[in-house]
Structures are given as C-alpha cells and as structure tokens.
Amino acid sequence: MEQSLGPVADRRRARRSGVILEHGVLLARVRPGHQAAVIDISASGTLIETARRLLPGSIIELHLETMHERVAIRGRVLRCSVMTVLASGICYHGAVRFEHSLHWLAEAMR
C-alpha cells in the first residue's frame, strides 16, 4: 500500500519566470564562456541547461546579458542532472542559487 506524503512545499524564495519578456535575459554563459540556456530564473537563483556538467556544491560565475546590461554573478550549484542524451552530446539541467539577490530582476518581474 502506497502512502501519500501530502502536498510538497514550494521552497522557492522568489517568483521564477521562464518567459524572456518577463526576465529579459537574452544570453547566459558559465565562466569561462560555456553557453547556457535559462530555463527559468528568479532574483535568488536559476535553472540552466548546458552541455557541461556542473558539480553540485561548486561555486560558478554566471554571466547574464539583457538588452540593457551585462551582469556577472556567483552562485552555488545545488543540483545537476542529465536532461537529454543525443548522438551529438549530453544536455544537463543545473540549479544555481545566487550569492546575492538580483534586485533588478525582482523589480522587472513585479
């Protein structure tokens, strides 16, 4: 007999958006220059897709570009998992919690 654990609590600190028109992030790179796609983002963290595996617990520097600015922010990789396996390579999804809040993003998503 299966037991229900009840509703899962949402542990997110801030509202997330996966819509470019809301968050405005056009380009993301993981230093030293590996491309990343923003799946969703909030003022406190992001979920990105990359061809490089991110080591959970490690600190990374993420470069974000909008139409009006470029931002470099450090964050801790919370988790990383294989999303897709293709003949051309592997795609990973990595969750990153920023060291500092992106206040401009919180304002933009209000």
Report the share of the chain in percent with pLDDT over 70: 72
**Architecture category of domain 23-108 in CATH:** Beta Barrel (2.40)
Residue boundaries of the structural domains of the chain: 23-108
Mean pLDDT of the chain: 82
pLDDT value of position 6: 53
Q: What is the largest CA-CA distance in the chain?
A: 56
Q: What is the pLDDT of residues 26-65, one digit of tens each?
A: 889 999 889 999 998 888 899 999 999 999 999 999 999 9
pLDDT digits (tens, 9 = 90+) for 62-101: 999 988 889 999 999 999 999 999 999 999 999 999 999 8
Residue 42 has φ and ψ, to the nearest 5°, of -135, 180
Task: Give the tokens for residue 51.
Answer: 């061809």
